[in-house]
Structure 1
Amino acid sequence: MIATLLLAALGMTAIVAVRYFAVSGAFAALTLRLHPDAGPVAAKRGAQVRREIGWSLVSAAIYGVPAGLAGVAWHDYGLTAIYSGAPSLAGWLYVPLSVLIYLFVHDTYFYWTHRWMHRPRVFAAVHATHHASRPPTAWAAMSFHPWEALSGALLIPALVFVVPIHIGALMLVLTIMTFNGVSNHIGWEIYPPSWVAGAWGRVMITASHHHLHHRHYRCNYGLYFRFWDKVCGTDRGWAAELLPDRDAILTH
């Protein structure tokens, strides 16, 4: 039993680390090719990236433990609410709904824990590790103090015990989580201004939105959606320099 759990935790740690290097590495390469001036100046970029990768590998190990435990609970004991196979028609209709439920619950949890981490004492002890990246790079998405990594690692494994989700939908949730986490930190906007200024940008968080969080700290706390920022009055809009289209900027 203990050996199974240990192997599962090590396996999930390896998966998280490989996923991190693949996605962050791809975005880092795109940044150097398409926007070489984004991110920190060349003189400190190497040291910052090495620090971000180091903390991210620690985070990968922390994320791997609850993920591995949840994987064993599902695969070996059937204790979770994860299911597989072809659903019924009604089941297929639930699949996209389950993705939205997971994303909204995760976003809600992230917003409030993230905002709490900006309390002065918590920030200094924990969250300052992430904000030491000024500005962040594609490698910073998982650059967390271990306590922050632990807080972020628990929710999705906990949800799979209470909210039914198809294994394919769960993989989609994890993919979106990784993509958003990395793309929000790259310092350039991957979406066209028409998207950011339109319905998509009024609802979803993108790099130009999260960029202001790393500049001003007391705003734009969300992960996927602008919902809680707007409800709580912490939404500050976009970083104008990431959206050079003046008409798009004026409509946000």
Structure 2
Amino acid sequence: MVAAILLSALAMSAIVGVRYLLASGGFALATRIRQPGLYRGLEKQMGREIAWSLASALIYGIPAGVVAWGWQAHGWTRIYTDVAAMPLWYLPLSVLLYLAAHDTWFYWTHRWMHRPKLFRVAHAVHHASRPPTAWAAMSFHPWEALTGAVVIPALVFLIPIHVGALGVVLTIMTVMGVSNHMGWEMFPRWLVRGPIGGWLITATHHQRHHDRYNCNYGLYFRFWDRLCGTDQGLGDFTTKARA
């Protein structure tokens, strides 16, 4: 049993690491094409971001691997594979529930990480990326990586979700995590500046967090920032959004 759990954890760590390299590498390539020279002179910083991120991938993989083993071997979780097990309307609702719960967890733990002592001990690693690049999304100190690694594995014990919908959640988490750190805005101006952009977080919003530190703590949505008075609007490269 111990060997099986260890193998599952290592396999999940490898999957998270490969997912990071593919996603961040893809967006880094897009940056090279769309914003040539934007990362010039940041080679050493990007090397550090990759090293910290691969260490984070190992940490993310451990609870994910344990949960995956428990699901397959003992049915521990509330992940289901039969799409008829729940009403079809629940599929998109479950995705929204997971994103909302993850966003809530992220907002409050992220804001907590900005307390001076915790910032110096852990979160400063992430903010050492100045400016952030497409490789910075998982560039965390191990203590911070641990806070992020437990949330989705915990949710699968609480909220039913189809395995395909869980894949959608993980895809959104990966894409938004990477794209929000690219240093330029890939979404069109009408979305970023419009009503939808008023509630969704994109790179233009998250860049201001990396510039000012004391605002814009959310991951997917601006709900908690708006409610708690920590939303300070958009960053300074909105003009780079596609028309």
TM value normalised by structure 2: 0.97
Deviation at 1:244, TM superposition (A): 5.1
Aligned-residue offset at 1:243: 2.7
Amino acid aligned to 1:21:
L
Equivalences for 1:116-135 in 2 at 5 Å?
116-135=112-131
Give the aligned residue type for 2:211.
Answer: R
Write the deviation string for residues 126-145 of structure 1: whole angstroms up to 9, x where unpaired.
Answer: 00000000001000000000
Q: Which residue among 51, 55, 72 is the counterpart of 1:54?
A: 51
Tell me, yes or no, if the aligned pair for 1:27 and 1:138 is still in contact at 8 Å. Answer: yes
Match of 1:72 in 2: 69
SS of 2:87's equivalent in the other structure is helix
The question of whether the paired residues in 1 share the 8 Å contact of 2:179 and 2:202 is answered with yes
**What is the identity percentage for the equivalent residue pairs of Structure 1 and Structure 2?**
59
Within the candidate set 145, 152, 169, 2:141 is matched to 145
Task: Say whether the 8 Å CA contact 1:208–1:243 is kept in structure 2.
Answer: no
- AA matched with 1:35: Q
**Closer, same or farther in 2 for the Cα pair 1:201/1:83, shift >3 Å?**
same
- Matched residue SS, 2:237: helix
- Cα distance in structure 2, aligned partners of 1:229 and 1:13: 32
Give RMSD over aligned pairs: 1.3
Task: Please list, as runs of the form range in 1=range in 2, the aligned pairs for 1:215-230 lying within 5 A after superposition.
Answer: 215-230=211-226
Write the letter of the residue equivalent to 1:31.
T
Instruction: Name the SS of the counterpart of 1:173 in structure 2.
Output: helix
**Is residue 11 of structure 1 aligned with residue 11 of structure 2?**
yes
- In 2, Cα distance between equivalents of 1:147 and 1:243: 36
Unaligned regions of 5+ residues in structure 2, if any?
A: none
The structural deviation recorded for 1:197 is 1.2
Q: Secondary structure at the match of 1:76?
A: helix
Report the Cα offset of residue 200 of structure 1.
Answer: 1.7
Q: What corresponds to 2:89 in structure 1? A: 93
Q: Is the 2:80–2:160 Cα contact (8 Å) retained in structure 1?
A: yes
Structure 2 equivalent of residue 185 of structure 1? 181
Give a deviation string over 1:1-21, Cα, whole Å, max 9, x none.
000000000100010011000
- In structure 1, the gaps of 5 or more residues are none
Residue type at the aligned position of 2:21? F
Aligned to 2:233: 237
Q: Which has the higher helix share?
A: 1
